[in-house]
């Protein structure tokens, strides 16, 4: 689970190193994982209803002793602070549980103009 302290570190790192203004809306990508592709596909309409753009569902390569997982990628341009991103992560952990997805796996971020 991603902690609030990790969000503090992320924002401090972005403020110091990112080539974009973190006080403006950015393109946030969010990821869910499950061994069952159909479960991820079933979650897409609920996420789209919340204003998220569906990017794709990708498969990972199986590793020794571990089956491949499917990854659902969604994104949305929005402005976050440590507190709002922490709250969004908590919302997505709950969403994953409610939709019986294996996990909410976190996020990435980039400039909004390069979607």
CA angle 67/44/75 to nearest 5° reads: 95
What's the Cα-to-Cα distance from 23 to each of 11, 14, 18, 20, 107, rounded to whole Å?
A: 10, 11, 12, 9, 18
- pLDDT above 80 (res 64): no
* Percent of the chain residues past pLDDT 90, beyond the cut: 86
pLDDT digits (tens, 9 = 90+) for 97-112: 999 999 999 999 999 9
The predicted model scores a pTM of: 0.91
- Does position 42 have pLDDT exceeding 90, yes or no? yes
As a whole number of angstroms, the distance between CA 90 and CA 2 comes to: 9
Domain limits of the chain? 4-13+28-61+68-106
> Cα(50)–Cα(89) distance, rounded to whole angstroms?
14
- The CATH superfamily assigned to 4-13+28-61+68-106 is RraB-like (3.30.70.970)
């Amino acid at each position: 689970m991603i902690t609030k302290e990790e969000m503090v570190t992320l924002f401090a790192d972005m403020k110091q190193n990112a080539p974009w203004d973190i006080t403006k809306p950015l393109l946030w990508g969010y990821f869910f994982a499950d061994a069952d592709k159909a479960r991820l596909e079933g979650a897409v309409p609920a996420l789209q209803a919340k204003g998220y753009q569906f990017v794709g569902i990708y498969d990972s390569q199986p590793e020794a002793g571990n089956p491949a997982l499917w990854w659902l990628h969604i994104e949305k341009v929005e402005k976050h602070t440590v507190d709002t991103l922490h709250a969004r992560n908590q919302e997505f952990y709950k969403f994953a549980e409610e939709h019986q997805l294996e996990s909410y796996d976190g996020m990435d971020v980039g400039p909004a103009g390069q979607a």
